[in-house]
Amino acid sequence: MIEVALERLGITDETGDQHRNEKFRIADVGTGSGCIAISLARELPCAEIIATDISAAALDVARRNGARHGFSDRIEFVGCSLLDELFHQSLRFDLIVSNPPYVGRWEASTLAREVRVHEPEAALYGGETGTEIYAPLLKQSAALLKPGGLVVLELGHTSAAHVSKLLASSEWTGVLITNDLAGTPRVASAVRKVS
């Protein structure tokens, strides 16, 4: 996800150093441990980052991780479902990233025991099929991204076709599905259309 986001922001091309210091405003939805927000803070030293999570326990872990890596002053941690609390602010984002829960409840019995027993359900299950969270997340992203802003989402192993259909709407352009090293569709990215 980080590689796709940086590449699509122009950070990894020949003008990357110039773009690296831009004042990007970023939202990391469902931050969990904060690893995505922290990685982006490290790569983009002038970025302002808001990391959301519905779990207070996850936010506590993310805050501690942010502090341990020296990014407490650049990452704001907000407790809410998806991007709900950000609608009350007059913020528009250049980049929205998310590694949402994408395991279907129907798959629960197929998961490794250590995953089923130790991972919080809210971090695992994205509904009965595992794809239900993407539609509201993309709707909120379309509303909060600046025109030309970028959304980057991690995909579950059965969600690429579903997310591709959602991104085929009139709000998005430049849709890309990126495979992981095993050839599995793993990351969806798209640009908010300029009206």
At 49 the pLDDT is 98
3-state secondary structure of 154: strand
What's the average model confidence in pLDDT over 41-66? 95
Mean of the per-residue pLDDT values for the chain?
88
Q: How many domains does the chain have?
A: 1
> In terms of Cα–Cα distance, which of 44, 49, 4 is closest to 20?
44
Cα 58 to Cα 96: distance, rounded to the nearest angstrom: 19
Which pair of structure tokens corresponds to residue 186? Answer: 């793993």
Q: Tell me the CATH number at 51.
A: 3.40.50.150
Phi first, then psi: give them for residue 143, nearest 5 degrees: -75, -30
3-state secondary structure of 134: helix
pTM for the structure as a whole: 0.91
| Rounded-to-integer distance, Cα 143 and Cα 26, Å | 14
Q: What was the pLDDT predicted at 118?
A: 64
Give me the helices (H) in the chain, please: 2-8, 16-20, 35-43, 56-68, 113-118, 121-124, 134-144, 160-167
Domain residues for the domain of 131 are 2-192
For residues 24 and 48, the answer to whether their CB atoms sit within 8 Å is yes
Q: What is the pLDDT of residue 106?
A: 58
Single out the residue of 186, 81, 95, 101 nearest to residue 145, CA to CA: 95
Per-residue pLDDT tens digits for 147-163: 999 999 999 888 899 99
Quick: pLDDT tens for 11-31.
Answer: 875 655 667 788 999 999 999
Question: Which residue in 190, 194, 9 sits closest to 98, CA to CA?
Answer: 190
